[in-house]
Amino acid sequence: MKYRKVKPVLKKGKSLKLFLWNFSVVEIGDKSLISGTVVKNIDEENTKCKNGLLNYFFSIVKSYFYKTYSNGTLFFFSGNRKLLLKTDKNGEFFQIADFKVQNEIKISTGEIGETEVLSSDDYSKRFRDGGSEIELITDVDDTILESHTLKSRKRINNILFVKPDKRKIIEFSRQLAIQIKDRGGRVFYVSKSENNLYPLIKCFIKSNGFPEGKICLTPFKSLPALFFKKKKKDIKNEKIELIVSLSQKKKFILLGDDTQQDVEIYTGLAGKYPDKILMIYIRRTLKYGSKRLNKKIELLNKSGVTFKLFDEKIDIGKELEFLKNKF
């Protein structure tokens, strides 16, 4: 198939600079899951954790004014392989390639590379299959780090005024992720947080000893949309189910918390893929669960999948020893 050359439409006197944001290639069987977002006119400094609280604060706020390369066409090159990618209205591309990506990667806006899409992010981009049958899918907020999701003012304060390396970690979640990684498994971080917060999340992972893994987030948001536009309800469930359904020879441990939809989502997955869900852990944050939540937990208990609520009192050593027998 011959692709036509595609040049970005620019205003007179301006040059377009494109940057890959949260780009990754995940090896799944004999295929590759290629995804990312293309952002206009930023550079690698925008993806880094800033020194100094004021710089950090402004870097987060600034991300809600970024413009994405929406409804554009891109070309993915790796060795003698070439793939046509298209970004959606949010500047995201998400495609399953029917081959394993082995060589150096280059992405541009044209066949001969009129505008190369740059990326020098200091976070892993390639996630190859390590050979383990068991992998981990985990939520982020209130699951690997304390976010106070149900307390809006406290959550916003944490995002804007507490640097990632100072955030409180959930130690059991870290030890579980490390054990999965040490045994050749991968970790998938799936959150309803918007892509604007990618630098915060990846810096938290890197600075607190969590294994690097694919980070799945919701699309970029503008500042007005952050307050007035609700996120698509099923987007988190769709991302998790895609990973589970594509990974035909894998089993998964699901890690979440009781503050949002994790119990409901995991119950649905347990019912749909009972042979692929090995274990479900839900972090208990609420002192007194609502009747609705308790009903969901009851349904999860009846799913047939091993399920456990945990909090800071969990015996980490004993639990990890129990999980070793699952490998």
* pLDDT tens readout for residues 7-36: 444 444 456 789 999 999 999 988 999 999
pLDDT for 97-144, tens place per residue? 999 998 888 898 876 556 778 776 788 899 999 999 999 999 999 999
Q: Is 115 part of any domain? A: yes
Order across the sheet with 306-310: list the strands: 214-218, 187-194, 134-138, 251-257, 277-283, 306-310
The pLDDT value given to residue 8: 47
Q: Among 31-40, 86-95, 97-106, 224-233, name the one with the lowest average pLDDT.
A: 224-233
Q: Is 256 part of any domain? A: yes
Same domain, 155 and 275: yes
**pLDDT-based confidence at residue 93 (cuts at 50, 70, 90):** very high
Last residue of a domain, one of 87, 108, 127: 127
Same domain, 164 and 117: no
Given a cut of 80, whether residue 248 has pLDDT beyond it is: yes
For residues 110 and 6, the answer to whether their CB atoms sit within 8 Å is yes
Count of CA atoms in the C-beta half-sphere (13 A) of 74: 31
Same domain, 316 and 205: yes
pTM score of the predicted model: 0.88
Q: Is 202 part of any domain? A: yes
Last residue of a domain, one of 64, 99, 127: 127
CATH number of the domain enclosing 96: 2.60.40.10
Q: Is 7 part of any domain? A: no
What percent of the chain lies above the pLDDT cut of 70?
A: 82
**What domain range includes position 275?**
134-324
For residues 91 and 42, the answer to whether their CB atoms sit within 8 Å is no
Mean per-residue pLDDT for 199-228?
88
* C-alpha–C-alpha distance, residues 318 and 296, integer Å: 27
Number of domains comprising the chain = 2
pLDDT for 37-82, tens place per residue? 999 988 777 766 666 677 778 888 899 999 999 999 999 999 889 9
Q: How does 134-171 read in b/e, with b if 16+ C-beta sit within 10 Å? A: bbbbbbbbbbbbbbbbeeeeebeebbeeebbeebeebe
* C-alpha–C-alpha distance, residues 103 and 79, integer Å: 6
Mean per-residue pLDDT for 266-285?
92
Last residue of a domain, one of 76, 92, 127: 127
CATH number of the domain enclosing 305: 3.40.50.1000
Looking at residue 246, its amino acid is L
pLDDT for 139-164, tens place per residue? 999 999 987 555 566 666 666 657 77
Same domain, 254 and 118: no
Provide Rg for the chain, Cα atoms.
20
